[in-house]
Amino acid sequence: MNKTKDALRSGDVVEVLGEDLIRATLGPEGMYEGIPFVPEMRRFTGRRLRVFKRADKVCIEGGYVSRLRNTVLLDGARCDGSEHEGCARMCLLLWKEAWLRRLPPTEPVDQPIDWMNIQEPEYCRADSYDSNRLCQSTALPRAVEPLRGWDIRQYVRDVTSRNFTLWQVTKAIFFGVFNMIMRYTGGREFGASVGQLVKTPEVALNLQPGELVEVKSKNEILATIDPQGRNRGLSIDFEMIRHAGKRFRVLRRVDRIVLETTGTMREIRNTVLLEKTECEGLCRRGCTRSSYPMWREAWLRRVSN
């Protein structure tokens, strides 16, 4: 299935192979082409799902956009962190095409998981997190290849794979060129938010899944961040600012996350994920990971239902 003519595209219907068949493809380290099959993927084995996007192009925390091969993302198939001590990032899981079976486009798909209303998994917090535990996000740096911004083939793949429309690709190219120029000239990237505070405020709302909140105005958010666009170390970018003034439901509280750069666990306070605020990726040359940004409660206000 990894040949170009057989490559899966956005919207295709697939069935996830059984765990035994998937494990038969793995090497001694539990990986296939550098991507591990993690325990959180078991709940999706045997399910019929639709391809969300090809994961041909991914951005890595602390790094640049890179090339990934023979990998797709499936609608709603996210990591719940149950086997990684409650990491709350809710990353979209990466699926090698060898782990999937293509089905006719008319085949019905299974109902997506209702992440907002599903009971959060039980997990045991160890005294220290095992950074050697297999995690797809921390494995990414060793599974990808360099991808130059001027390589036009990536944008052709964006369209032919149905990941993005031609208009979306045009915007991604504009953002990429603009940000490249800014990096060389010492300017700010597109839509960068800049505050004036030396010490940023901490706000505790104790928001819970399902609660309705409103993202504060841009000016209100700027009043909570430092010159690097951060509130207590957590940054807010254009992908988030575009939601200013809009209302969303809280998807999940974020108490701890695995850092992609080091594989270590980081405790976090007063931070949540919001439903329907996934990153579009256009400011990162068309990154496909569709990650949920993390929202400080200082940037939100509770709204009565």
pLDDT, tens digit, 9 for 90 and up, residues 252-288: 999 999 998 888 899 999 999 999 999 999 888 899 9
Q: Are residues 85 and 19 in the same domain?
A: yes
Q: Domains in the chain: how many in total?
A: 2
Phi, psi (degrees; rounded to nearest 5) at 241: -60, -30
Q: Are residues 136 and 210 in the same domain?
A: no
Q: Are residues 221 and 283 in the same domain?
A: yes
Boundaries of domain holding 270: 186-302
Q: Are residues 19 and 73 in the same domain?
A: yes
Q: Are residues 45 and 134 in the same domain?
A: yes
Q: Are residues 14 and 93 in the same domain?
A: yes
Distances (CA, A) of 81 to 76, 111, 136, 165: 14, 21, 11, 32
Close Cβ partners of 79 (under 8 Å, ≥ 6 residues apart): 38, 40, 41, 87, 89, 90, 91, 92, 93, 136
- Classify residue 40: in a domain, yes or no: yes
DSSP reduced 3-state for 155:
helix
pLDDT digits (tens, 9 = 90+) for 171-230: 999 988 988 898 888 888 888 889 999 999 999 999 999 999 999 999 999 999 999 999
Close Cβ partners of 301 (under 8 Å, ≥ 6 residues apart): 213, 214, 216
Q: Are residues 40 and 134 in the same domain?
A: yes
- Classify residue 166: in a domain, yes or no: no
Q: How confident is the model at residue 2 (pLDDT cuts 50, 70, 90)?
A: very low
Q: Are residues 9 and 121 in the same domain?
A: yes
The model carries a pTM of: 0.91
- Classify residue 174: in a domain, yes or no: no
Q: Are residues 142 and 243 in the same domain?
A: no
Distance CA(205)–CA(203), nearest Å, equals 7
**Per the structure block, which two tokens stand in for 23?**
């494990």
